Amino acid sequence: MALPSHLSLQLASAERSLVNEQVDEVEIPGANGYFGVLPGHTPLLALLGAGELWYREGQERHYLSLAFGFAEVGPDRVTILAQIAEKPDEIDIARAEAAKRRAEDRLSKPTMDMDFERARISLLKSLVRLQVATRARTRG
């Protein structure tokens, strides 16, 4: 049996479908670290973490900010259901910077009733948003 030459990538958030493309490669932010997917990949189901997803069509890479959800990988397809997913041009940089500052302030001055994990995740999500938005703007 021949290996497939492309992957069908479908990515949706709770609100909408963001990507439905034939791609050559995908890198996914898994809960336990990033993992790459090429055509012919072994089937798996993975939890998503917060991070930058990229996919490649030919020589062109596309970036998205993702946070949590699931990825189902097959030899010829990748289906991603994310709690949060944003394209670079949808990211409000000023809002992400403000969220980063708030999270850093909370983490630098912990209180007894502070939800440390929530503050850490907020910081991580804002950093990923800024990374994706900055990467897209420097490519253009």
pTM of the model: 0.84
Tell me the C-alpha distance between 32 and 21, whole Å. Answer: 26
CATH fold for the domain made of 7-88: ATP Synthase; domain 1 (2.60.15)
Residue 118: per-residue pLDDT: 85
Q: Work out the pLDDT band at 17, boundaries 50, 70, 90.
A: very high
What fold does the segment set 90-139 form as a domain? 1.20.5
Strand order in the sheet with 60-73: 17-23, 7-13, 77-86, 60-73, 44-57, 25-30, 33-37
Predicted pLDDT at 61 = 93
Whether the predicted pLDDT of 138 surpasses 80: no
Parse the chain into domains and list their residue ranges.
7-88, 90-139
What's the pLDDT score for residue 137?
A: 66
Cα angle: 35, vertex 38, 39; to 5 degrees: 145
- How many Å separate Cα 75 from the centre of its chain? 21
Average pLDDT, integer, range 105-113: 83
Note whether 31 and 49 are within 8 A (CB): yes
CA distance 84 to 50: 9
